[in-house]
């Protein structure tokens, strides 16, 4: 067997270091990017939430604009994958393990036998049907009608909630539901900070944006939003993988440079 020169050994060592870094990085990206909504679906679901929040009646003085939280989405997606029509009792701990944000995590759950697109967008979507509970909610008394459910709606319009993240899974069968829901779409949205605290109204009634919390001085579409210089943007699925792809190209260039001959051997 021919001996390797010190230069070749150094090149091989550098190559292995780069390869190891790349594998570690892509593993981390995979862990942080497993919310299953596409970028377009994220925008649709986020816009639907904020549209409901900007059109509440009576109008809200302190309603904040929600931003997408990829960690909330990861928690939601992981739990949706279990196909269980019950609340995730571990969602606070799950989120705390991923995010520096504090506070409890709220959760809305929805199932439909319609397709994925219908579950996320349109009049029969999860957000639309949660919002439809508004007809059974009376703001003046902060109560639901007799025998009615409106807690999904109040979570969607909870003013102090700042972040949302959702997941969706088509389930062959769903724990807790009859077989008529087999192959249904299970949608879970998580919220932070959580809403629906007993004895508290979801928001303060008044002129839109007239009582915005500190740090959210701008009013856009009636929603309290961050200053332009500190505006938050949604982190959507796909972008981390784009970053991984760019890094991969950079690492490839590094490998080519390290080879000394502009070639990569497999």
Lowest mean pLDDT among 103-107, 187-191, 243-247: 243-247
Q: Are strands 143-144 and 106-112 parallel, antiparallel or unpaired?
A: unpaired
What digits encode the pLDDT tens for the residues 175-229? 999 999 999 999 999 999 999 999 999 999 999 999 999 999 999 999 999 987 5
How many whole angstroms separate alpha carbon 35 and alpha carbon 167? Answer: 6
In the chain, the percentage of residues whose pLDDT exceeds 90 is 71
For residues 204 and 60, what is the distance between their CA atoms, to the nearest angstrom?
6
| Whole-number pLDDT of residue 243 | 34
> What pTM was estimated for this model as a whole?
0.75
């Amino acid at each position: 067997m021919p001996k390797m020169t010190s230069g070749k050994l150094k090149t091989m060592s550098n190559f292995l270091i780069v390869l190891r870094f790349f594998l570690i990085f892509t593993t981390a990206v995979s862990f942080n990017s497993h919310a299953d909504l596409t970028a377009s679906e994220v925008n649709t679901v986020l816009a639907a939430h904020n549209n409901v929040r900007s059109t509440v009646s009576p109008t809200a003085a302190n309603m904040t604009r929600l931003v997408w939280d990829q960690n909330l989405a990861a928690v939601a997606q992981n739990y949706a994958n279990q196909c269980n029509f019950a609340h995730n009792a571990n969602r606070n701990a799950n989120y705390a393990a991923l995010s520096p944000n504090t506070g409890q995590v709220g959760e809305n759950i929805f199932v439909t036998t319609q397709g994925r697109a219908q579950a996320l967008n349109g009049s029969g979507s999860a957000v639309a049907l949660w919002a439809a509970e508004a007809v059974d909610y009376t703001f003046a008394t902060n109560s639901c009608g007799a025998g009615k459910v409106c807690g999904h709606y109040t979570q969607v319009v909870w003013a102090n909630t700042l972040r949302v993240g959702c997941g969706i899974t088509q389930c062959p069968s769903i724990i807790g539901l009859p077989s008529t829901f087999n192959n249904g779409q299970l949608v879970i949205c998580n919220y932070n900070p959580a809403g629906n605290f007993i004895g508290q109204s979801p928001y303060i009634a008044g002129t839109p944006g007239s009582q915005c919390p500190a740090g959210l001085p701008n009013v856009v579409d009636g929603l309290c939003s961050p200053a332009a210089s500190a505006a938050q943007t949604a982190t959507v699925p796909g972008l981390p993988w784009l970053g991984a792809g760019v890094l991969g190209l950079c690492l490839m260039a590094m490998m080519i440079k390290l080879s000394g001959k502009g070639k990569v051997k497999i």
